[in-house]
Amino acid sequence: MKKHNFSAGPCILPQEVFEKAAQAVLDFNGMGLSILEISHRDKAFVAVMEEARALALELLGLTGKGYQALFLQGGASMEFLRVPYNLMKVDGKAAYLDTGTWASGAIKEAKPFGETVVVASSKPDNYTYIPKEYSIPADADYFHCTSNNTIFGTQMKSFPETNVPMVCDMSSDIFSRTLDFSKFDLIYAGAQKNMGPAGTTLIVVKEEILGKTGRAIPNIMNYQQHIEKESMYNTPAVFAIYTSLLTLQWLKNLGGIAAIEKLNEAKAKLLYDEIDRNPLFKGTTVKEDRSNMNATFLLADENHTALFDSMWKAAGISGISGHRSVGGYRASMYNALPIESVQVLVDVMKELENKI
């Protein structure tokens, strides 16, 4: 029986995507060949790559606005490094907002490239909120932020107004909510949350910000090289990209980001309302910054842990243990998670209250 999968990533994808991807492993497009055994230069796969790149831009509302979409490898962690390589000038400066483990990982990778200014950090408060009062140096080569903090369960609800290029790690909330994506000059996201299996990263970049650093960039690190080669500089992650395309098609058929946003808001409201109502539970972040993707919470009394854990497991729930670095619980409610699964979790929380 299919579990209620609240995993933080890799995570649940739409059932029809699993089925179509499985079929393509056996026979891709009726070719008599598996998608895993054809050349990435085969016109059938080139068409997949072209459609995936175009559809990513279309869903973000960025078609015809000077952006390029790439599907590269190395995870979002590789983009922590590619971003300063491609955007920080020699003797330049970059500004970063530190909102969690992944944001601080990005900062670490930027430091060897030049002056790396942390404009604000919520680390002293264990990343329980998103800093809002800060200024971005006008001479920074770019500003980097993390839209959703997968581990700590916070999400940026607004973004600063700035004249410097804005870079955003959207790994855990891409395609989940409407934003004016044209405010960003570079967006990146590992596929393994709202898009596909692990193995590829979507990068959406405004071409005009590239080529200005004055530094020699190795080809594999160079966004311009990847754009020129139409995201096929090296063998792309064919299966991860095909499966991502299936998810993007699913999202488009559903009505796009605006439609899924409504569902995501309903799911998050259902769970947060119960966390706030039920005296046995407490949220871990300030309310205004709560993530609609990853809800983090604790039991008010840890003595109830064994009972609660046995109850949610018996209800067919999987993947709600908090990240190993913070403990507690984390329910990830990505695009493909049905609201029925959230209801099952809420029912277990209510049942615990009845039992105690």
Binding site for ligand PMP (CB under 6 A): 9, 75-77, 102, 146, 150, 169, 171-172, 190
Q: Whole-angstrom Cα distance, residue 66 to residue 223?
A: 14
Among candidate residues 102, 141, 206, 267, the one labeled active-site is 102
Among candidate residues 98, 141, 169, 173, the one labeled active-site is 169
Q: Which residue number, 9 or 165, has a Cβ lying nearer to ligand PMP?
A: 9
Residue nearest to ligand PMP (CB): 75
Give min distance, CB of 324 to ligand PMP, in A.
Answer: 12
Give min distance, CB of 43 to ligand PMP, in A.
Answer: 30
Q: Is 234 annotated as a binding residue?
A: yes
Q: Which residue number, 60 or 299, has a Cβ lying nearer to ligand PMP?
A: 60
- Phi then psi for residue 289, to 5 deg, are -110, 10
Q: Which residue number, 148 or 222, has a Cβ lying nearer to ligand PMP?
A: 148
Residue 39 neighbours by CB distance under 10 Å: 11
Peptide bond into 10 cis (omega under 30): yes
Q: Which residue number, 84 or 190, has a Cβ lying nearer to ligand PMP?
A: 190
Q: Is 41 annotated as a binding residue?
A: yes
262 is known as an active-site residue: no
Q: Whole-angstrom Cα distance, residue 135 to residue 291?
A: 24
CA pseudo-torsion sign 248, 253, 258, 260: negative
* Contact predicate 343/32, CB 8 Å: no
Q: Is 169 annotated as a binding residue?
A: yes
Q: Which residue number, 102 or 329, has a Cβ lying nearer to ligand PMP?
A: 102
98 is known as an active-site residue: no
Q: Is 150 annotated as a binding residue?
A: yes
Q: Is 102 annotated as a binding residue?
A: yes
Give min distance, CB of 80 to ligand PMP, in A.
Answer: 7
Give min distance, CB of 77 to ligand PMP, in A.
Answer: 3
Give min distance, CB of 145 to ligand PMP, in A.
Answer: 11
42 is known as an active-site residue: no
Among candidate residues 141, 185, 193, 206, the one labeled active-site is 193
Give min distance, CB of 327 to ligand PMP, in A.
Answer: 17
Q: Is 305 annotated as a binding residue?
A: no
Q: Which residue number, 17 or 78, has a Cβ lying nearer to ligand PMP?
A: 78
Q: Whole-angstrom Cα distance, residue 202 to residue 101?
A: 20
* Contact predicate 312/305, CB 8 Å: no
Residue list, annotated binding site for L-glutamate: 41
Residue list, annotated binding site for pyridoxal 5'-phosphate: 76-77, 102, 150, 169, 192, 234-235
Residue list, annotated binding site: 41, 76-77, 102, 150, 169, 192, 234-235
Q: Which residues are catalytic?
A: 102, 169, 193
